Amino acid sequence: NAGVMQNPRHLVRRRGQEARLRCSPMKGHSHVYWYRQLPEEGLKFMVYLQKENIIDESGMPKERFSAEFPKEGPSILRIQQVVRGDSAAYFCASSPYRGGQPQHFGDGTRLSIL
């Protein structure tokens, strides 16, 4: 499958736990965007990364959220001490080069906080 792969597809966490969401971009793509989608809402940009670099984190909440895209392996979106309001679908998209369009999306991770 050459598409954007996200896992897990569903993740359930209790308040206060940590959530780790993974994204493997399309083959040949080295740039990853993360977006969050609340129920009945459009997607909202969170962060843009290339390998080993954060390019734009203007949409990331200031606390508890972090993202990385190491030289080897998938991009990780990490949410510490989760709260009910973090319940959402988290999507990543990849592009082949900096600023490249179109962005190709994965099928997302649905995060539920108990």
Partner 1 sequence: QQQVKQSPQSLIVQKGGISIINCAYENTAFDYFPWYQQFPGKGPALLIAIRPDVSEKKEGRFTISFNKSAKQFSLHIMDSQPGDSATYFCAASIPQGGSEKLVFGKGTKLTVNP
In the complex, the residues that contact partner 1 under the rule CB under 8 A are: 4, 6, 33, 35, 40-45, 48, 55-56, 58-59, 91, 93, 95, 98-108
Q: Quick one: which of 67, 74, 28, 22 has its CA closest to 49?
A: 67
User: Least CB distance from residue 17 to partner 1, whole Å?
Assistant: 24
All residues at 6 or more sequence positions from 4 whose CB lies less than 8 Å from its CB, including other chains: 23, 24, 25, 26, 92, 93, 94, 104, 105, 106
Structure tokens of 114? 């108990």
User: Least CB distance from residue 38 to partner 1, whole Å?
Assistant: 10
CB closer to partner 1, 53 vs 80: 53
User: Least CB distance from residue 59 to partner 1, whole Å?
Assistant: 7
CB closer to partner 1, 14 vs 99: 99
Gap between the Cα atoms of 66 and 54, Å rounded: 10
CB closer to partner 1, 19 vs 46: 46
Structure tokens of 50? 């290339």
